[in-house]
Each structure stands twice: as C-alpha cells, then as structure tokens.
Amino acid sequence: MPKARSTRIGASVVAACALAAVAASPAAAARPATQAEIDGIVEAVNDYTSARGYTDSRYVVDGISVSTASTSPLYAAAKVDPLPRFRRTTPDPELLLRKPATAGAPWRVIDAGDRFCSDRRVPAAVIRDLFSQICASGGNTGGGLTKTLASKRVGPLRAVLSATQGPRRGKTVPASVYLTIYRNGVEIGQPRLGATNSFVWSQLRRSRSGFVDINPSVGYVGAQVLRNPVSLYRAYQFKVTSGGLWQQVPSSATP
C-alpha cells in the first residue's frame, strides 16, 4: 500500500484499473496496471517529485500503463498532471519507470521528459509501447555498448557506475552514465547521472574515468564522472534511507 502522503490518482488511471480484467485487443501494446502496480508507481512518482522540491499535493498521477514488451524487468509510463492552481509552477513531465526483476524491488523513475528514444537502457519496443515513439535505426536499441566505470561494496550497500554508448553525433559518440545502487543484494535505484548522452564515450573509456564512494553508516553513496580531457569530474551524491533513494544537490566539477 502507498504511504499516507501518496498523491491522488487521475480519473483515467482509475478507469484503466477498472478495465484491467477486460481482455485487450491484439493491437494493444501496453496494458492497464494492476492496483498493486498503481500503488508502487504512484509511490515512485512521489519520491521522484519530492527529491526535486515540489510536493505531491500539487498534482495527480495520470496516464499509468505497463509495457507488454518486457516482463522482467517491468517498464511503465506515468504522467504528472498539476492541479489547476499549480499549473504555472509545477513541472508536468511524462515519466518512464522500471521495476527490477529482483523480488521485492520497488518501482523507480528512470527518465522524464517527452522524448525517450535516446535512453538506450530501455528496449525500443518498450518505448513504442508506452509512448508511441518509433526509435530510428541507430537510435534506441536497448543494447548500446556498456562499460563499467567503477564499482564498490561496503556493508549492505553496493554501487556500480556504468556508461552506455549513445548514437553517433557527427564525429562524437556520446554516452549516458548510470549509478545502480543495491542494498542487501536488492536493487533500490538506477538513476541517470546528468542528462541523456551528456558525456563523451571516448573519455569514459579511459582508466580512472569514474569513482564510487560509500559510507553505509550515514547511507551515503557518491559518484564522480570524468567530464572533459583536462580531468575535471562531475560529482553526484545520494542518500539511501528506509524510504528509498534520494539525490542530493550535485556539486560543481572538481579536480
């Protein structure tokens, strides 16, 4: 069940849940979410917005659907729909969520915006299911080259910093960087560090292109990623609590 602070659910989601028992047509690529899935997705959306400074009292969660193109892990879409009096001050992104295959793992928001073809962690069929976006050849394949930049385990926490190659842009091949965090062997989050394809693949192939630090006594997980050839790094900080994973304000590039 969602926590007491869980936001209200939009009418279209309620209708979709009521129709979940009705057989979908063969052309339907995404299915309605079950009530348990809705509870978990709403909770994940609330965690996502709270970490960005706006409360769930400003919006409802609408447009929830689950892709049938992948069953392990599961992927879902949701929409933040601000209440009328908050529409000028509250972001209203579409959200892409993932539920790892690990038993008991929660739903997490892994991307937000209105274009998802550049997120190469996710199969193109899932993007098509959830957002009706046809990813061009050479764009999202869900299978770009991946490199582990760093990994570390301290006590119950483990973190893996990885980069995924994006589609070529002229002479440059960009990359997206992700930090996967586990607690007691269960994945609790896989946030993207920075924007999609905001790093350079050739730089991340170097040694010492990324570092991970963990302090389990205070629930701290940090990562540094090489930003440019003069060895400047971008730092990201996360707090692991019983309620989930929270991103702290990233610091500026540091030597």
What is the span of the domain harbouring residue 215?
Answer: 144-255
Same-domain pairing of 100 and 162: no
What are the residues whose beta carbons fall under 8 Å from the beta carbon of 90, sequence distance 6 or more? 54, 58, 59, 80, 82
Segment 194-229, tens digit of pLDDT = 887 889 999 998 888 999 999 988 889 999 998 876
Residue 136 exposure: Cα atoms within 13 Å on the Cβ side: 6
Number of folded domains in the chain?
2
Domain boundary among 104, 124, 140: 140
Instruction: Report pTM.
Output: 0.58
Domain boundary among 140, 166, 189: 140
To the nearest 10 degrees (0 to 180), the angle between helices 11-18 and 35-50 is 160
Same-domain pairing of 3 and 119: yes
Domain boundary among 140, 175, 195: 140
For 93: left if phi > 0, alpha if psi spans -120 to 50, otherwise beta; the answer is: beta
Segment 121-166, tens digit of pLDDT = 788 889 888 988 777 543 454 446 788 999 999 999 999 999 888 7
Same-domain pairing of 43 and 159: no
